[in-house]
């Protein structure tokens, strides 16, 4: 998508595209308000600046739009584009490796019990074993530190998806 196209879209249509990049309503609304963008760099800079002002509730809302690692849908449904991106990002999960899937499901459940939200990791390019190892390490974090780590992962996902949106023909 070209920047000019994003700028010209009615707010509700732009909102539908941006929510697939980051599920925080505050982030989406701020990005809509910052239009028109002059360049790709301006979009990416605005995205980062807006992520800087998110609070705990905003991060949790963003996390809720993602499927658990190894699953296909999150608590809040994504659009087709977001679902396709999630599938591609989680392509390192081998459906035939049932043992690893069971371990990831157990780590997901333990993570949610400990922190109160899904285990979120930028899965793009990572294997199931890597994501499992990362989950186990992050379970050692205290809740305050873990929210910061999860937010950093959400930032990576948002950036990756925003770049995909801007690169889409």
Quote the CA–CA distance of 70 and 140 in Å, as a whole number.
Answer: 21
CB 161 within 8 A of CB 123: no
- pLDDT value of position 145: 98
Residue 91 — very low, low, confident or very high, per pLDDT cuts 50/70/90? very low
Mean pLDDT for 36-49 is 97
The separation between CA 99 and the C-alpha centre of its own chain, rounded to angstroms, equals 26
CB 111 within 8 A of CB 135: yes
> Which range has the worst mean pLDDT, 4-8, 31-35, 123-127?
123-127
Pairwise pLDDT comparison (79 vs 165), residue with the higher score: 165
123-147 pLDDT per residue, tens = 998 988 999 999 999 999 999 999 9
Residue 101 — very low, low, confident or very high, per pLDDT cuts 50/70/90? confident
The answer to whether residue 67 scores a pLDDT higher than 70 is: yes
- Name all domains of the chain by residue range, CATH numbers in brackets: 3-167 (1.10.3330.10)
Question: Which positions are catalytic?
Answer: 66
3-state helix, strand, coil in the chain (%, to 5): 65, 0, 35
């Amino acid at each position: 998508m070209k920047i000019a196209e994003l700028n010209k879209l009615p707010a509700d249509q732009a909102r539908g595209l941006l929510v697939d990049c980051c599920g925080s309503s505050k982030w989406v609304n701020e990005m809509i308000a910052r239009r028109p963008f002059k360049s790709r760099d301006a979009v990416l800079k605005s995205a980062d600046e807006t992520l800087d002002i998110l609070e705990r509730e905003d991060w949790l809302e963003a996390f809720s739009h993602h499927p658990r690692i190894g699953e296909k849908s999150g608590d809040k449904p994504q659009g087709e584009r977001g679902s396709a991106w999630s599938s591609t990002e989680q392509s390192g999960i081998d459906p035939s490796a049932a043992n690893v899937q069971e371990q990831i499901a157990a780590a997901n459940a333990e993570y949610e019990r400990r922190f109160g939200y899904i285990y979120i990791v930028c899965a793009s390019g990572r294997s199931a074993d890597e994501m499992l190892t990362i989950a186990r390490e992050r379970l050692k974090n205290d809740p305050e530190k873990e929210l910061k780590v999860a937010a950093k992962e959400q930032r990576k996902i948002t950036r990756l998806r925003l770049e995909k949106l801007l690169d889409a023909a």
